[in-house]
Amino acid sequence: MKISTKGRYAIRLMLDLATNNSGNPIRLKDAAARQGISEKYLEQIISVLNKAGYVRSIRGPQGGYMLQRAPEEYTVGMILRLTEGSLAPVECAEEEFAACSRGNECVTRILWKKLNDAINSVVDEVTLEDLISWQAAKADEYVI
């Protein structure tokens, strides 16, 4: 499993919205400039986030986007599943997977399920709030 740019950029965009939240909407143009991501690409991503109710858009000259909820209410897993779909490394590790033709005799399925469980436990524990804290700690590391 490899996370695409869409998933990675969605997390960066959500983190940007959380970090730069001053109570005013954030223009996509500004987020794109800060993140070094094409505004056109972010428009596609923000559309998905908006439809899912993760962000809200405010129209008008002072418009932009804001998180719909507090940063601690969004997990990395929520954002990745929205943009990437399943995070399972192989199809047979997915919960909703129909019975495989190899069924119970496939021992590698145990490995794939363990890997899937490990991935999910990490992405479902880490929130945007955690990323904000990690970002602040990283900024504190740079001392002149």
Give the mean pLDDT of the chain. 91
Give the structural domain span for 34: 5-141
pLDDT for the residue 33: 97
34: which 2 tokens? 């800060």
Query: Which ranges of 20-127 does DSSP label H, i.e. alpha helix?
Result: 28-35, 39-51, 76-84, 108-123
Residues in the chain: 144
**pLDDT category, 101, cuts 50, 70, 90?**
confident
What is the per-residue pLDDT for 1? 72
- Name the DSSP class of 38: -
Secondary-structure percent of the chain, ordered helix, strand, coil, rounded to 5? 60, 10, 35
| Number of domains making up the chain | 1
**In sequence order, which residues have a C-beta less than 8 Å from that of residue 126 and are 6 or more positions away?**
75, 76, 77
Distance of CA 106 to the CA centre of its chain: 32
pLDDT, tens only, 50-96:
999 999 999 988 899 999 999 999 999 999 999 999 998 888 888 76
